[in-house]
Amino acid sequence: MTTTPAIVVENLHFAYNDDAVFTGAHLAVHEGDFAGVVGPNGGGKTTLLKLLLGLLQPQQGVIRVLGQEPGAARQAIGYMPQSVDLDPAFPITVRDVVMTGCLSQHRWFGRYTAANRAAAIDALRDVKLAELADRSFANLSGGQRRRVLIARALVAKPRLLLLDEPTANLDPGVEQSFYEMLKRLNERLTVVVVSHDLSFVSEYVRSAICVNRNVVVHPTGELPPEMIGSLMGARQRIVRHDHIDSSTGDDEEGCCQ
């Protein structure tokens, strides 16, 4: 992992009308990191991703993504939102769903190149679904559909992958295999994933971004062995809340509680 920042946020202020979401927030995520964004509902997790994408504009502060302003960096970002306006019953193949991730590179819908089609297969290989390229999207399981949407985020060959609740409502076994896939992708991409399920996410992430009307980054640490048996019988990690915020010098215990 390099020490080059993939994401830099300084003195971020953002509000919806008079409802402040962030006031003076700071964040740094290095290239090659695998970061989990955690926090309560309404704390600002999705808002943070939209600010990083340039879909929302801060009232104050600096945001740099891959060294650029968010809008300029968007071609290098793969994004999977919480919900996608794609009717599962619509007669479209898996390959065609993935190629919709190339639309920003084309002026007119549907004008895909041979390179786009090849890139779609490459992206499906990344999520281990290349053999289903010609299958109807409607005939896939919920977990397979999520993988296809990840492939859609990968098809433009991004450097940064932003995922908003990608495993919501998936069975635990499917969820764990999903994070194993993200771990493989992290070998070549910076990955930032929002999730409510820290017990799964934190087994894989290197840092946890706690978002609750503020932004604080913590390392993850192994649970003491005597506690493992009480947590689903599997190796787990928890967030260490003994982090000293380098921007303020303050002890930031319990920010996600």
Share of the chain above pLDDT 70, in %: 77
Q: How confident is the model at residue 256 (pLDDT cuts 50, 70, 90)?
A: low
- Rounded to whole angstroms, the Cα distance separating 68 from 53 reads 11
pTM: 0.81
Question: Where does the chain have alpha helices with state H?
Answer: 45-53, 70-73, 94-99, 114-126, 142-154, 172-185, 198-201, 225-228
Tokens of 224: 């003491």
Which of 54, 60, 96 lies closest to 74 in space, CA to CA? Answer: 54
- Of the listed ranges 122-126, 158-162, 175-179, 200-204, the least confidently predicted one is 200-204
CA 171 – CA 143 distance, rounded (Å) = 9
Categorize the per-residue pLDDT at 246 as very low, low, confident or very high, splitting at 50, 70 and 90.
Answer: very low
pLDDT bin (cut points 50, 70, 90) of residue 229 is very low
Residue 225 — very low, low, confident or very high, per pLDDT cuts 50/70/90? very low
Query: Quick one: average pLDDT of 4-29?
Result: 93
Question: Strands 19-30 and 5-16, how do they pair?
Answer: antiparallel
Please tell me the number of Cα atoms within 13 Å of 66 on its side-chain side: 20
Model confidence at 224: pLDDT above 50: no
- State the pLDDT at residue 235: 40
What is 1-66+192-257's CATH number?
Answer: 3.40.50.300
Give me the mean pLDDT over the 140-165 stretch: 92
> How far is it, in rounded angstroms, from Cα 256 to Cα 200?
16
Spatial contact of 36 and 195, defined as CB atoms under 8 Å apart = yes
pLDDT at residue 243, rounded to an integer: 45
* Residue 252 pLDDT: 43
C-alpha count within 13 angstroms, C-beta hemisphere, residue 61: 23
pLDDT digits (tens, 9 = 90+) for 165-174: 988 878 888 8
Judge whether 122 and 141 are in contact, CB under 8 Å.
Answer: no
Spell out the domain ranges in the chain: 1-66+192-257
pLDDT mean over 237-254: 44
pLDDT band, residue 39 (cuts 50/70/90) = confident
pLDDT at 12: 96
- Higher model confidence: residue 28 or residue 173? 28
SS3 content of the chain, % helix, strand, coil (to 5): 30, 25, 40
Q: What are the beta bridge partners of residue 178?
A: none
Which band of pLDDT confidence, cut at 50, 70 and 90, is reported for residue 7? Answer: very high
For residue range 45-75, list pLDDT tens digits in order: 999 999 999 999 999 999 999 999 999 999 8
Tell me whether strands 160-164 and 77-80 are parallel, antiparallel or unpaired: parallel
**Residue 109: its pLDDT value, please?**
52
What angle do the packed helices 114-126 and 142-154 form, to 10 degrees? 130
Average pLDDT, the chain: 81
